[in-house]
Structure 1
Amino acid sequence: MEDKNFHIILREQLELKSLNVQKLASISGIQERYIKAMLEGDAEKLPSLPYVRGYVIKLADCLKLDGDELWALYRKTYNFKTSGAKDTLPKNRFAAKTISKSKIFAVFAVVALLLYAGTQFNRLAGVPEITVRNPASANLISVTEQTFTVSGSINPENKLLINGENTVSGADGSFSKEIQLQPGINTVVFKVSRFLGKETSVVRQILYQPE
C-alpha cells in the first residue's frame, strides 16, 4: 500500500469492491464532493485535517482496510505532518455550556418571584368566596321570630356588605349579624369584594310569619 499514492489506492479499492462514489457516500455518510476530491487527489477541496482523518478512517472501515495505515498513506501522499495536541477537531459551538450557580439561583429567584406575584394577584384581584351557614339553604325558609341571625365566613382580607351595610368579620373570617325581619318575605344580600373590585353576591330569602 505504501508504494502507491492515497488516491490511487482508493480508486483501486472502489473498483475491486464494485463501488461508485454515490454508493460509497451512502454507506459511509461522507459527502460525495469530499470522496470525489480524495479520488482526484485534490486535498485543497477537503476540510481541515482532523475532519479528513475521520473521513479516511471511515472509508477504511467501509473498504475493510486498516484505518491507521490508510491515514498514514494519506499524510505521506500529501506531505502532512501531525501536529500533536493541536491536531484536534475545533470546539463545537453548539455544545451545551456550563451554567454558573449564580445564574441558576437567579432563574429560581425569578420563578419564585413570579409565582409569588401570581398568588398575590389572585388574592387581590381574583373572585372572592363566601360561605353562608345561616341560612345555609338557598331555598326560602320560614321563621316566626322577628330577629334572625345570619352567619358565615369569608377571607378576612375581603370586604363584606350585608344588605348594603358594612359587616366586619373576625380574624378567621367568620361573621354574624342580627337582622330585624318584616312580615312577609325578606331578602338578604351578602356581597363580598376584594381589593381590586371583584365581587361575589349571595342571596337568601326568609319568610317571617309572626305568631
Structure 2
Amino acid sequence: MMVLELEVAGEMLMLLPQKAMYWPSNSTLIIADIHFGKAATFRRLGVPVPHGTTAQNLELLDELIMSYPTQHIIFLGDFLHAPDISAATLQSLLNWRTSHPALEMTLVRGNHDLRAGDPPQELGIHIVNEPFRSGPYAFCHYPDVESDGYVLAGHVHPSFHLHGKRDSLRLPCFVVGERRTILPAFGAFTGTYSMVPQVGEQIFIIADDRVMKIGN
C-alpha cells in the first residue's frame, strides 16, 4: 500500500488507499460514509446486490486499526443507511465493537443518520452534530459547513473520471482545497459523484493500492 502524506492546517495527514484518512499526531482514523445496512436495505426492496458488505467494511476497519496505531475513530456521517437495520447487521457491529472495547468512537451526524436514528448505545459511540472541533479541524458531514476550523467532510462520495483515447475510468478520490478536504465514501456498497475541482482544489485518486495526485 502506498499512502500519501500532506500537511493540512499545520498537521500531517495521511490519505490512505483504503478510502480513509489517518491523523498520526492524534492516533485518529477518519472515515466518511460507511453506510452500514445499505445493501440489506436494497435487497429488501428486491434489488439484487452483493451480500457480505458489512463484514467487508469491518474487516477493512480491522486492517486499518492494525496498520495504524488508532485510539479514536471519527465517522463523518452516514454510519447507518436506514432505520430498519437488520438483526444480523446489528449483531455483527456489536461483535466487532466488543473486540475493540478501548477504542474511542465519534459519529458526526449526517443526513442518513438523521433518518436512521443514532446507533444503539451498546456500540459506545459518542454522537455529535457538525462541526465537531478537534485541533485545527472541523469534522463535518457536509463539505460546505461554515467553521473557523479546516473542514474535513464526506457526503459527496467523490470520484474522478479519467478519460483515455478509447476507455474511461471513474475512481474514488480525495478533494483537497484551501479550506476543506472531502473524503471518499468508505462503504463497500456506495455510489460516487464525479468531481470537477474548484479553483485551489487538488484531486488525489485511489488506484488499487496507492493514492496519486492528478495534475499539477
TM-score category of the 2 structures, normalised to the smaller one: under 0.3
Which has the larger share of helix?
1
The alignment's TM-score, normalised by the length of structure 2, stands at 0.19
Which has the bigger relative contact order, CA under 8 A and spacing at least 6?
2
